Amino acid sequence: MAMYIRVKREKTTYFIQCDPTEKTSDIKQKLQALTDQPTDKQRLTLVSSNEILVDSKTLAEQKVENDAVVALTFRKDDDDFEEVNIARPEDFTSFS
């Protein structure tokens, strides 16, 4: 295994095995299998830089490294994408 990234949306994190030479679109394909959302309805944002990942570019080109956190958002019915929403456990203090 070359590397993995952590794709996060709300309270879910997907650990995705990948290779630096893979394109963003390849990652979206893998996520389609897990989320049942078609690739064109997905948007990936590298959290550390807040850059939206471009389908045709590779992970290496966009400085997505091993263990990187990438936010996943879906296209809403009005064709806009949702805001990035990654829940943090601190918001659920009743459990701690």
Partner 1 sequence: MEEETTKKAEMVKLISAEGFEFVIDKQAAMVSQTIRNMLTSPGGFSETQQGQVTFPEISTHILEKICQYFYWSLQFASGKETEFHIEPEITLDLMMAANYLHC
By CB under 8 A, name the binding residues for partner 1: 1, 3-4, 6, 11-15, 17, 30, 32-34, 66-67, 87, 89, 92, 95-96
Other CB atoms within 10 A of residue 6 CB = 14
Q: How many residues does the chain have?
A: 96
CA distance 42 to 28: 7
Name which of 14 and 81 has its Cβ closer to partner 1.
14
Report in angstroms how near the CB of residue 51 gets to partner 1 at its nearest: 22
Name which of 2 and 54 has its Cβ closer to partner 1.
2
Through-space distance between the first and last CA atoms of the chain, rounded to whole angstroms: 34
